[in-house]
Structure 1
Amino acid sequence: MNTPLPTSVAALLEQQEGDRVLLVDDVPDNLSLLHDALDEHGYTVLAATSGEAALTRALQGRPDIVLLDAMMPGMDGFEVARRLKADPATAHIPIIFMTGLTETEHLVAALQAGGVDYVTKPLDPRAVLARMQVHLQGARQARQTRQALDAFGYASIAVRASSGRLLWQTPLARELLQLYFGTMAPTTPPLVLQWLRRCLEGMGSVGGANGASGAVGMGLQDSVSMPPAEPPRLTAELGARRLSFRLHHCIGGEDGPGPGGDWLIVMREVSDAAVIRSLGLSFNLTAREAEVLYWVVKGKINRDIGDILGASPATVKKHLERIHAKLGVETRTAAASMALTRAREIHPQWEL
């Protein structure tokens, strides 16, 4: 007769019903034993009996956690883990190895391949379930954070500062990075990576100063887990659209939190289309004239405005002459000043 699970573990299991578990083992008896235990506690179980099948199931089913047999014929568990971690679509999924090998080198190999934990065979379903909870809680919080950020128009990515690798991204982040930079995971846009490393260099200096002043319990790793102050943001522009990047916090890494760790970056896109429309309505401008005036406010010269709008500098100059007449001013500086004042009256939160 199985010993009942401790009350605390049972309560956690009840809270997490519905999580998807990918169970990978080439031995049917092992699959059956764990499948029944997981199903009893409300998990949705995806099963695979080979490394190739595991990779396919992971991409199709997007499990919340993977229980992975280390030793399998053909593609072993170590290679499966490496491939899952190399794919941005599955890199965030925690992997627990199931192994009968207890030698240190095998356990180290499991962790180096991307595993977060291991359980030894013969398997005790109670121990497996308890271990799963430790890692599912963190994974669930990260998933909920990503979903919430996307729902409110914020996109997020995780970047490993030491290697520059983009570890994961929300669907909205994928679209924005392709639109603004033409890059795809696991490549981090060079501009974003340079900005991240500059932020971390500055934060490292702050951490060193804290250590020198004798701050209690504040080492470098602790000081960079959360930015000590708001680091400068990065902004990328695409026409009248702007994408801002904000360094949020360190979410861990191969060696734990630190300057070379994995950092959550939150992005938000802002479009100035409403500002342009307001300028047009306020000064009785055509749509193109409002666009020209917007870029004048942004400090662009005629040649730059022409490049942005796909027009010649001479055409921009003609638009600007009509803008001056409608605003009753003689210089672009006066036009820009008047437009900026009006834009901020209508959109108090607007920033250049």
Structure 2
Amino acid sequence: MSTILLVDDDVDSLWLLQIILVGRGYHVLLAEGGEAALAKAAQCLPDLIVTDCDMPGMDGIALCERLKFYPALAQIPVVMASGRMPPEEKSTLWNVFLSKPVDLSALELAINSLLAKRLSGPQTRVNVPAPAGSRWQPIPSRLCL
């Protein structure tokens, strides 16, 4: 089951998309803004992110820029949604741009396409050095369930 992180400052939009995507068999995580989304993405490593562009604080563009700073997050596909036209100079930060109100069939098509491409493509792993050996074992986190 693929995990999708939904990011929007409009709680009603989050809940609506969550209901639809859970009904399609996805595991859905919610974040009410860019800062919360960045923290949740780092903690849970979703398979795909769907974000609103216009949010207070860290907007969708800034979120995409910040995701690219972290090797483990840089490869996560992003669907950007906005009520305005995408700025051309930032178009490489996301994979798909959808205008609001989002056409649900276009969103589902984009999600399916990006996830299929990610799962069928070469599995490139980020070279992260192994942590130093320790007799202490990490406690598994259940925050991403």
Bucket of the pairwise TM-score, normalised by the shorter protein: 0.7 to 0.9
Matches within 5 A, 1:188-267: none
Give the Cα–Cα distance (whole angstroms) in 2 for the partners of residues 44 and 133 of structure 1.
14
Could you tell me which residue of structure 1 aligns to residue 26 of structure 2?
43
Question: 1:24–1:110: structure 2 CA closer, same or farther, 3 Å change rule?
Answer: farther
Tell me, yes or no, if structure 1 residue 128 matches structure 2 residue 111.
Answer: no
Which residue of structure 2 lines up, in the alignment, with residue 117 of structure 1? 96
CA contact (8 A) 1:94 1:115 kept: yes
Letter in 2 for 1:132: I
- Deviation string 1:218-247 (CA, Å, 9 cap, x unpaired) is xxxxxxxxxxxxxxxxxxxxxxxxxxxxxx
Query: Which residue of structure 1 lines up, in the alignment, with residue 138 of structure 2?
Result: none
Is contact 1:68–1:97 with CA below 8 Å preserved after alignment? Answer: yes
After TM superposition, which residue ranges in structure 1, 4 or more long, deviate above 4 angstroms?
none
Q: CA deviation at 1:110?
A: 4.4
RMSD of Structure 2 on Structure 1 (CA):
1.8
Larger RCO (alpha carbons 8 Å, 6+ apart) = 2
CA apart distance, 1:89: 1.2
1:67 aligns with 2:50: yes
**Residues 97 and 110, structure 1, Cα contact 8 Å, conserved in 2:** no
SS at match of 2:21: helix
Number of the residue aligned with 1:83: 66
2:73 alignment partner, SS class: coil
Give the TM-score normalised by the residue count of structure 2: 0.82
Shift of 1:80: 0.4
Query: Is residue 2:76 matched to residue 1:93?
Result: yes
Map of 1:9 onto structure 2: none
Which of these residues, 174, 178, 190, is aligned with residue 128 of structure 2?
174
Larger Rg: 1
Specify whether residues 138 and 49 from structure 1 end up closer, same or farther in structure 2 by C-alpha distance, changes over 3 A only: same
The one-letter code sitting in structure 1 at the alignment partner of 2:108 is L
3-state DSSP class of the match of 2:68?
helix
Structure 2: unaligned runs, 5 residues or longer: 132-145
In structure 1, give the amino acid aligned to 2:72. A
What is the deviation of 1:141? 2.1
Matched residue type, 1:174: V
Aligned residues: 131
Structure 2 residue aligned with 1:29, among 12, 22, 26?
Answer: 12
Shift in Å, 1:107: 3.9
Q: Displacement, 1:109?
A: 4.4
> Map of 1:310-321 to 2, 5 A cutoff?
none
1:140 to partner: Cα distance: 1.4
Secondary structure of the equivalent of 1:90?
Answer: helix
Measure the CA separation in 2 of the matches of 1:33 and 1:124: 13
SS of equivalent residue, structure 1 residue 96: strand
8 Å contact kept, 1:78–1:109: no
Following superposition, the deviation at residue 44 of structure 1 comes to 0.4
1:73 deviates by 0.4
TM-score (norm 1): 0.35
Q: Which runs of 5+ in 1 are unaligned?
A: 1-17, 147-155, 158-168, 179-352
